[in-house]
Amino acid sequence: MKKSKLTMFATSFAICTFVLAGCGTKEKEVKAPKESIVESSKSKKDKPKEKKIVKKESTGSIDFSKQISEMKKETDAKSIEKIYASQDPIVKNQGEVVITLDGYEYMEIKDFNRDFAIPFEEQIERGGIMIAKYTIENKEDKDIYFTPSFDLNYVGTSKTSMGIKSLLPDEKENLSSIMVASKFKVTSGETKTGYLAYAFGPTAFDKIKEQTSITLTIPGVHTKPDSFKVDDMIGSPQKIELPISSQGEEKKEANGAYYQDKVTVDNMGEKTMIKEKSEINKTETLEDVGVTLEGYQFTEFVPNEVEAPRFDNVENGLVLLTAKFQTDNKSDKDIDLSMSSSVLRVNNGTQRLLSSSMLLATDRNNQILEQGSKKEFIQVFLLDKEQYDKIWKDKEFKIEVNLRTKEGKTMGAGKELSFDLPK
């Protein structure tokens, strides 16, 4: 990670997570948890065993054999061996545009033509290939424009893997070619289907094997040609965790139990549930904007080796409080949830923590709560584990939410919505 990025993160963290302790009417600054690598006693004693990739046989109706045969012929590969396959459709909506990952296969390729060395880390001995089938169905009452940037990335690199056209040269099947031919336009009521193939060099292949999964980004759609403006966008980019082994399936299932903050979505480390409460459903209203606390989760957080440098000054461990809200805007104003924030009152209200925007998984450019619309609103707080264990955990917690309009104006003349966290 670049030094400038680490500095910016640390600065943002210091601003967003300071602690103020109240004593009477006076407040004094309390040392806040800085970002640090944390190792639990369990991780010290029990080192994880090497994970083996297990093949999963296809049970659905998608047959990739034709495309794989063409790739083998195109690359002059000695072998392309299937490692994992999934035919469980994953459906995501961007407005009324339905985007489906119909299925995918992850494979190992060996001894291929030098013409393909570049996407495989400048070598031709071995690497990974993934082929995926996508369907885009436009149920909007207007035409939309869609760039098939279904990018893949994985923990341990900042590199992004995009579809490699040369692996699937058939323009009638390659989704990128299909979309280019239509100038990225999908008319109202139209459905487009195609394939993308991805390449991974040996370093990436081994890292993905170690992580047991890979992350796919589902892009947003636009209402105007050649536009990448947020105002012209329907929906926002969404990330999906794709297993490439049975261990990856288990990890995805475990992650599904946690609220989708950045730690969970970006696989920043290991979460362990400490306490959770769901179906609270308490609603407070400010200027006809309803905010409902649906639930909260306290989790112990141990960063992985990639994220560890962001937290290298913490000595006492980390606890995350992730709160899940639902917002309903019945006012005559547009609300900017990315500019809205919250404060966590701890130790029976004598100390407070600011929410950490750096641990949110949402796209900050697409967090406008328009008039008449609803949106999920996640808030994350980073707590010092020692203080949580010794002082805070058995006392009262309260979250105060502050809403701002699209223009940056504070709603309700600075009034905050207050939510007690039920035990």
What is the pLDDT confidence band of residue 235, given thresholds at 50, 70 and 90? confident
Least confident of 37-51, 60-74, 132-146, 283-297: 37-51
Identify the three-state secondary structure at position 285: strand
The one-letter amino acid code at 280 reads: I
pLDDT tens digit sequence for 18-35: 343 333 333 333 344 443
Give the strand pairing for 289-303 and 282-286. antiparallel
Delimit the CATH 2.60.40.1240 region(s) of the chain. Answer: 3-45+260-420
Give the pLDDT mean for 57-66.
Answer: 72
The C-alpha atoms of residue 19 and residue 394 are separated, in whole angstroms, by 18
The one-letter amino acid code at 44 reads: K
At 365 the pLDDT is 61
At 378 the pLDDT is 95
The C-alpha atoms of residue 378 and residue 108 are separated, in whole angstroms, by 39
What is the pLDDT confidence band of residue 17, given thresholds at 50, 70 and 90? very low
The C-alpha atoms of residue 103 and residue 85 are separated, in whole angstroms, by 8
At 211 the pLDDT is 87
CATH, range 65-244: 2.60.40.4170
**CATH of the domain spanning 3-45+260-420, picked from 3.10.50.40, 3.40.50.970, 2.30.30.790, 2.60.40.1240:** 2.60.40.1240
- Residues 404-412: contacts with CB within 8 Å, 24+ apart? 404/335, 404/336, 404/339, 404/340, 405/333, 405/334, 405/335, 405/336, 406/333, 406/334, 406/335, 406/336, 406/368, 408/336, 408/339, 411/286, 411/287, 411/289, 411/333, 411/335, 412/286, 412/287
Top-confidence residue, 266 or 365: 266
Tokens of 335: 């609300």
> Nearest Cα to 261, choosing from 251, 271, 250, 276?
271
pTM: 0.76
What is the pLDDT confidence band of residue 416, given thresholds at 50, 70 and 90? confident
Give the pLDDT mean for 159-185.
Answer: 93
Mean pLDDT (the chain) is 85
What is the pLDDT confidence band of residue 321, given thresholds at 50, 70 and 90? very high
pLDDT tens digit sequence for 362-408: 766 668 898 999 999 999 999 999 999 999 999 999 999 999 998 98
Helix (H) or strand (E) holding 351: strand 351-354
The C-alpha atoms of residue 216 and residue 213 are separated, in whole angstroms, by 10
Give the pLDDT mean for 63-89.
Answer: 95
If you count them, how many residues does the chain have? 423
pLDDT at 298 over 90: yes
Residue 53: CA count within 13 A, CB half-sphere: 21
Delimit the CATH 2.60.40.4170 region(s) of the chain. Answer: 65-244
At 55 the pLDDT is 42
At 206 the pLDDT is 92
The C-alpha atoms of residue 32 and residue 30 are separated, in whole angstroms, by 6
Site of tokens 């339905």: 98
